Structure 1
Amino acid sequence: MTTPTLRDVAQLAGVHPATASRALNPQTRPLVNAETARKVLRAAESIGYQPNPIARSLKTARSATVGLVIPDLTNPLFPPIVRGIEDVLTTAGYNAWIVNTDNDPGREERQVESLRSRQVEGLIVATARRDHPLLLRLHRQGVRLVLVNRRVDGLELPSVTADDDAGIAMAVAHLASLGHTKIAHLAGPQQTSTGVSRARAFRHALLDQGLADDPRLTVECGYWSEAEGAQALRRLLDSGAEFTAIVAGNDLIALGCYDVFAERGMTCPDDMSVVGFNEMPFLDKMRPPLTTVAIPHYEIGVEAARLLLDTIEEPDRHPRSVLLAPSLVVRASTAPPR
């Protein structure tokens, strides 16, 4: 059986092949009469025709694909963000190539070059560091970029982030309202804008609540990971510092605290209250369920995809950023100090 061709579809629908081509392409379908487009789509489905994206990209010099660069696919933060990105791209007739860098700059560079060799029309990047030579170089080369969740120092690019300042302020205010006066912060990596902004917001929130900003109660984690969160809390406890509550840089760091509580026979929230950040899936199933700052993951993905599509259609458009509001989800990991 021969593979159905565009000409077969056009003949069955009774239209010119160029009209059939426009009707089958989501980006050009609005140029075709609605009834004609439906007729072409029915004809294509009836004979099992599938458009050839490679042939189309050669003809139009557009691949209808974008690259999505993720630092750690095992982090539950990213699936709903990816879902939001794909839902918008699919509607616009685009597909995404997804690569995982494992937070390795060398691997990231190889993965990005692989995406570019596939003629992607732009990149949505969730791996940005404050000092990021690769992104600087890509920007200078005219690659269309949108940043998710992070920013690069001194580089004006479209970005979508949650309002870290507001989220951390909610977390500290919640703990202060329970009566906590000695609150620690297990900060994210300071080579990322998110780690810096949340640590800065923590210091400001303490002052807003009339609490002392004790630098001994802030410990940096090398990675956004459970293991790093556990290691940071061990260091803090071993230092002899006194505190009754923790604001973690993200939920994975907070889960590392749970590991240390189990090691040292501590009970949460009786011995220590903990607040996370991000609202990963299944936090309500933890023991105790984790109080956390929720960010709109899916909406972050949606807005990132929209920004990239805008950039593709209007390359000279001034970069704009989107800041999305977080919310506090109070569960059983926080309580008044004993």
Structure 2
Amino acid sequence: MTSGRTTQQRATLKDVAKAVGVHVSTVSRALDPKTRHLLTEDVVKRVTKAAADLDYQPNSIAYSLRTNRSRTVGVLVPDITNQIFPPIVRGIEDALAREGNVAIIVNTDSDPAKDAQMINVLRARGVDGLILASAQRHAPEIIKAAREGIPIVTVNRAVDDPAISSIVNDEGKGIELAVEHVVALGHRRIAHIAGPETISTGLKRRDAYFHVAEALELEDWKKLLIYSNGFNEAEGRRCADALFDLGLPFTAIVCANDRLAIGALEAIEARGLSCPDDISLTGFNDMPFVERLKPALTTVRIQTYEAGHRAAEIFLEQIAKPVSERVAEHVVLPVELIIRGSTGPAKG
């Protein structure tokens, strides 16, 4: 006895409904994470079992036509090989999956032009919205998309427009903890390698250094400041070399992120100096494996997975509402200083 369908035919909602003995609308509700709570647990189990037995696969094209939703979300990252971003992406994916959404992940190489291009490409492909870990502070394409009703949340960074939801880490507190830590070790001449001012993390961490250095009356702090052109090791090496070339004494370097600190460590060692005996060093982010450096890096730990997960939750909250009812939400996650071997008492 055959079911009337050839093996080439795709199972439909009607087939599942017939197998269970319920209406098609019941099957639809049972298979939708947003509506299955309206049914009894027994009905949901019977429907999901029948769907699995029949190898039923939802027709995404039909769903898109019916709901004007694709259940896809564009996720932009500046560089997926940067080790802080995979946990962020995983947090995003886990939260999105709970409601049947998938992420389309693209790299922008920290290039504002590519960022704008990829936003337009993803919009053309019909994504339901965007979660951006690559955002620059000034981002016309992001503002334009948001004003046209596209749900957008930035993660780990923020744009200057408060109408765009964001989830960031407490940049100011992190720099304050790092500076106060090395001051407690007796350091008074503390240099800072700042991130690019075009990115919110670079600006906020630099501003925090200004504030705490002035409050603690650190020596020559305005002169012992170098701006990087990017959050990477090569820029950390260049900036540390520039600090040494100033000819001003300093005994500690507070870096705006871990990759800058790794580059600075290379410069310290290249000059025959020792960390932390001659120069103490701190980073920011607590990337995987920085505890394996020699010496292990003292740094500020941020919540990467949690940031991604919360960003996706905010996104889902936004997309569930009409455009007129969406209100931007801004979340600041707490940070923690992780003290390791790269910081020690100041000489003398």
Matched, 1:219 2:220: no
Matched, 1:200 2:207: yes
- AA at the equivalent of 2:45: R
Matched, 1:157 2:167: no
Q: Which residue of 2 aligns with 1:184?
A: 191
Instruction: Assess if the C-alpha contact under 8 Å between 1:67 and 1:124 holds in 2.
Output: yes
Alpha-carbon separation, structure 1, partners of 2:219 and 2:164: 36
- AA at the equivalent of 1:310: E
* RMSD, matched Cα: 1.4
| TM-score, normalised with respect to structure 1 | 0.96
Q: Which runs of 5+ in 1 are unaligned?
A: none
Matched, 1:317 2:326: yes
Alpha-carbon separation, structure 2, partners of 1:82 and 1:259: 30
Instruction: Assess if the C-alpha contact under 8 Å between 2:119 and 2:141 holds in 1.
Output: no
Q: How many aligned residue pairs are there?
A: 338
Which range moved further: 9-18 or 172-181?
Answer: 9-18
Which range moved further: 25-34 or 315-324?
Answer: 25-34
- AA at the equivalent of 1:329: I
Alpha-carbon separation, structure 2, partners of 1:101 and 1:60: 30
What are the superposed Cα offsets for residues 108-167 of structure 1, whole Å, 9 maximum, x if unpaired?
222212211222111111122222221122122222111112222244211101111111
| Partner of residue 139 from structure 2, selected from 132, 143, 146 | 132
What are the superposed Cα offsets for residues 226-265 of structure 1, whole Å, 9 maximum, x if unpaired?
1111111111111212111011000110011122123222
Instruction: Assess if the C-alpha contact under 8 Å between 1:24 and 1:51 holds in 2.
Output: no
Q: By how many angstroms is 1:292 displaced? A: 0.2
SS at match of 2:345: coil
- AA at the equivalent of 2:305: Y
Q: By how many angstroms is 1:26 displaced? A: 1.5
Matched, 1:99 2:106: yes
| Partner of residue 244 from structure 1, selected from 251, 256, 278 | 251
Alpha-carbon separation, structure 2, partners of 1:106 and 1:320: 27
Which range moved further: 113-122 or 320-329?
Answer: 113-122
Instruction: Assess if the C-alpha contact under 8 Å between 1:226 and 1:254 holds in 2.
Output: yes
Matched, 1:13 2:20: yes
Q: By how many angstroms is 1:6 displaced? A: 2.3
Alpha-carbon separation, structure 2, partners of 1:283 and 1:176: 22
Alpha-carbon separation, structure 1, partners of 2:342 and 2:289: 14
Instruction: Assess if the C-alpha contact under 8 Å between 1:244 and 1:273 holds in 2.
Output: yes
Matched, 1:62 2:69: yes
After TM superposition, the runs of 4+ consecutive aligned structure 1 residues lying more than 3 A away are none
Instruction: Assess if the C-alpha contact under 8 Å between 2:20 and 2:47 holds in 1.
Output: yes
What are the superposed Cα offsets for residues 200-241 of structure 1, whole Å, 9 maximum, x if unpaired?
101111233342352211100001111111111111111212
Taking every aligned residue pair, what percent have the same amino acid on both sides?
A: 45
| TM-score, normalised with respect to structure 2 | 0.93
Matched, 1:53 2:42: no
Instruction: Assess if the C-alpha contact under 8 Å between 1:85 and 1:304 holds in 2.
Output: yes
